[in-house]
Amino acid sequence: MSDDLQTGMRQHMTFGSLIYNKYSKSLGFLSNSYRASEVYVRSTDYNRTIISAISNLIGAFYNQSVQPRSDYPDSAETPRWPPGYVPIPIHTVYRSNDPYADVPYTSCKRKTWLQNLAVNSPEVTQILEQNKDLYNKTQVFDAGLFNELKGLDIYAETIKSGFLSSPIIQGLDLSIELPKIRGGPLLWHLIQNMEEKVDLILMLIKP
């Protein structure tokens, strides 16, 4: 297991503890222990993101007001079961069908059009010209080639979000339009969940 992965697991566990302290202990928004009716976990369909979600949930709910034989198997009967650990489902959707968590890979005509504007901009054309020799190199994958490709990959993600040095093309600010498309579906999904929660509470307290 790489050091980066271990670091990420520790960070997510710490973040999960912060979430629990905030929303359970301070605000009382969540119960003291995990309740399926309160927590729904969604992840992109990658090993690293699923591991991040697991680590976050361990930080939030591990050994929090749980009871053996009720919430998890008794260690006396199942010696290898970690005491206090309650498995929490993590839901995924294949990236091409995920309209919320993996927006860059979903089909959207406007997103494709805007990204084509970015890819065909003078700035990107110049970068591609400067790095064209990478495609002509003997394909021996060493640390130097990895670092060069990693730098281009980071730049490509920046371009997908419209963050160019001169982002205004055809009168559109790509640094505004592309993030709206990439983040909008998830934002509205969260808003919809909040509205449904409020409506349910109002219905329950209605005389």
Beta-strand runs (E) in the chain? 41-43, 90-92, 168-169, 172-173
pLDDT of 142 reads 60
Q: Which of 20, 15, 33, 11 is nearest to 60 (CA)?
A: 20
The mean pLDDT values, 10 residues at a time, for the chain of 207 residues are 82 97 93 91 90 96 92 90 94 81 71 86 81 64 62 71 82 86 83 88 82
Tell me the pLDDT tens digit for each residue of 17-35.
Answer: 999 999 999 999 899 999 9
Tell me the pLDDT tens digit for each residue of 59-72.
Answer: 999 999 999 999 99
Beta-strand runs (E) in 5-86? 41-43
Mean pLDDT score of the chain:
84
pLDDT of 180 reads 84
Residue type, 16: G
DSSP character string of 164-195:
-SS-EETTEEHHHHHHHHHHHHHHHHHHHHHH
